[in-house]
């Protein structure tokens, strides 16, 4: 795995069921195959060809297959039992991630954790997360292969610190400050009100 997937995997902490939604090659989910405390690894992707390659990959590997489940589904179609879940959603846009979280959230309780890394439409996603019954555990920025990635970790609960519209902890590291400059350059050319407000916020961000 690369630095981003390795970093995402570090947020698992004793949850018994792994969900890798939009799993593609399954690298993130399968990295937990030898973790004794994990009861199931659920690999989810809507692409038939991806699923076929993944099933063959698992079949031909040395990995124990007893607790690995492959789901040919969109994340919005999942039914996840209220249990101890660590749910990873990465490698897709903010709109789709928001739809998936909205769909699965009613089935989850505080034993679960949601770890996301959106590629785009991040302002729209954060606005949605701000309104949902989710507590923010952590947020950070990672730089890999010329791109910045927000990593947001959430827990389903009505109480606790909420996801802010623009981020509070994102800007407190050296990478975060570089991300700020990147975001300013990108959004300063936009004239919609959401972008204007975001730029105004960024201009006042200090370490």
Query: 141: exposed, middle or buried (C-beta count within 10 Å: 0-12, 13-18, 19+)?
Result: buried
Structure tokens at 8: 């995402």
* Residue 135 confidence (pLDDT): 96
Distances (CA, A) of 79 to 44, 51, 71, 108, 172: 12, 19, 11, 10, 37
Structure tokens at 193: 């009100």
For residue 88, which of 123, 62, 112, 59 has the smallest C-alpha distance?
Answer: 112
Other residues' Cβ atoms within 10 Å of the Cβ of residue 107: 15
Edge-to-edge strand ranges of the sheet holding 147-156: 68-72, 40-45, 17-21, 85-90, 113-117, 147-156, 134-144
Contact between 70 and 55 under an 8 Å Cβ cutoff? The reply is yes
Domains of the chain and any CATH numbers: 3-165 (3.40.50.150), 171-207 (no CATH)
Instruction: Report which secondary-structure segment, H or E, holds 85.
Output: strand 85-90
Question: Token pair 């309104």 is at which residue?
Answer: 131
CA separation for the pair 79, 165 (Å, rounded): 28
Contact between 82 and 123 under an 8 Å Cβ cutoff? The reply is no
Which residues lie closer than 8 Å to 136 by C-beta, 6 or more apart? 152, 153, 154, 160, 161, 162, 163, 164
| Tens of pLDDT, residue by residue, the chain (207 residues) | 789 999 999 999 999 999 999 999 899 999 999 898 999 999 999 999 999 999 998 888 877 777 899 999 999 999 999 899 999 999 899 999 999 999 999 999 999 999 999 998 999 999 999 999 999 999 999 999 999 999 999 999 878 899 999 999 999 999 999 999 999 999 999 889 999 999 999 999 876
Q: What is the DSSP letter of 21?
A: E
* Residue 160 confidence (pLDDT): 80
Structure tokens at 46: 């809507």
Q: State the pTM of this model.
A: 0.94
């Amino acid at each position: 795995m690369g630095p981003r997937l390795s970093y995402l995997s570090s947020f698992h902490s004793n949850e018994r069921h792994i969900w890798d939604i939009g799993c593609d090659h399954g690298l993130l989910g399968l990295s937990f195959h030898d973790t004794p405390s994990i009861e199931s690894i659920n690999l989810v992707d809507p692409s038939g060809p991806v699923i076929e390659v993944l099933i063959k990959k698992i079949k031909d590997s040395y990995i124990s297959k007893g607790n690995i489940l492959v789901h040919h589904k969109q994340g919005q179609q999942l039914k996840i039992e209220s249990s101890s879940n660590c749910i990873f959603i990465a490698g897709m846009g903010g709109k789709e991630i928001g739809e998936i979280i909205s769909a699965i959230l009613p089935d989850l309780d505080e034993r679960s954790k949601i770890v996301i890394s959106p590629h785009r439409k991040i302002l729209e996603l954060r606005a949605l997360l701000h309104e949902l019954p989710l507590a923010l555990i952590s947020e950070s920025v990672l730089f890999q292969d010329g791109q910045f990635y927000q990593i947001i970790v959430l827990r389903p609960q009505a109480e606790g610190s909420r996801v802010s519209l623009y981020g509070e902890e994102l800007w407190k590291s050296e990478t975060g400050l570089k991300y700020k400059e990147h975001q300013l350059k990108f959004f300063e050319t936009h004239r919609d009100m959401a972008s204007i407000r975001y730029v105004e916020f960024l201009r006042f961000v200090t370490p």
